[in-house]
Amino acid sequence: MRVKLIVEYDGTDYHGWQIQPDAPTIQGVLEGALRRMLGESVRVAAAGRTDAGVHAAGQVVSCTLQRAVAADTLLRGLNALTPRDVSIRDAAVVADDFDPRRAARSRVYLYRIWNARWPSPFWRRYAWHVVQPLDLTRMRVAAASLVGEHDFSSFQGAGCDAEHAVRRVLRSEIEQRGPLFSFTIEATAFLRHMVRNIAGTLVEVGDGSRTPDVSTLLAARDRTAAGPTAPACGLCLSRVNY
């Protein structure tokens, strides 16, 4: 029985998605809950391997169970066995060959920035606190120019094992509500740390230290030409589209 789960989590206290020895991970939490509920060892796979401290509102996870379990029973049972910072939002039976990573048509990430003189106790776990004033108009110009197919080598993090850095961005936009900036980006695939490196660059555009024209930056294909890697706390995997 192949099952698809939609999982939400606060990644603050976890060392990312992928299971690690002697470190709490989201994969470890889910596999532990399944083992306790079903009495069997179950391996889970995710649509995206989020890094340490990164959150998810719509992570898609799949696993194969040795016996049939009603989706609603699985949903209630797993939520009773997971900690408060991990929640299963939905469970459904899928085709035996469903692969959450390979079947995905696009992924949507959200990066939040708290732009105020003082930090927010409510957003400290979910947004990057930036003190210097940011210009929304400049940041919007830069974000919009990322739409399309480009070589994103300038935004590729160290240790990325992708065969190439060409990616197709379907949506890239930024909104502001008071001191909270929300950057949304959707692409068919992403490179390691790509969103966080873009967010770091957008902040430099917003504070005036970098031009909104990122075409030269894309053409450079050089990570050192772009801005800093933004903190993990602001990043959230919002949705995976199939």
Active site residue 222: no
**Residue 31 pairs with which residues in a beta bridge?**
none
Q: What ranges make up the beta strands (E) of the chain?
A: 2-9, 44-46, 55-64, 86-94, 106-115, 128-130, 148-151, 166-177, 180-187, 235-241
Residues 6+ apart with CB under 8 A from 221: 151, 153, 154, 165
For the chain, the farthest-separated pair of C-alpha atoms sits apart, in whole angstroms, at 58
What span, in angstroms and rounded, lies between the C-alpha atoms of 149 and 172? 12
- Could you say which of 22, 51, 96, 213 is catalytic? 51
What span, in angstroms and rounded, lies between the C-alpha atoms of 240 and 46? 10
16: left (phi over 0), alpha (psi -120 to 50) or beta: left
Residues 6+ apart with CB under 8 A from 78: 5, 30, 33, 34, 37, 88, 91
What span, in angstroms and rounded, lies between the C-alpha atoms of 44 and 41? 10
What span, in angstroms and rounded, lies between the C-alpha atoms of 121 and 87? 23
Catalytic residue list = 51
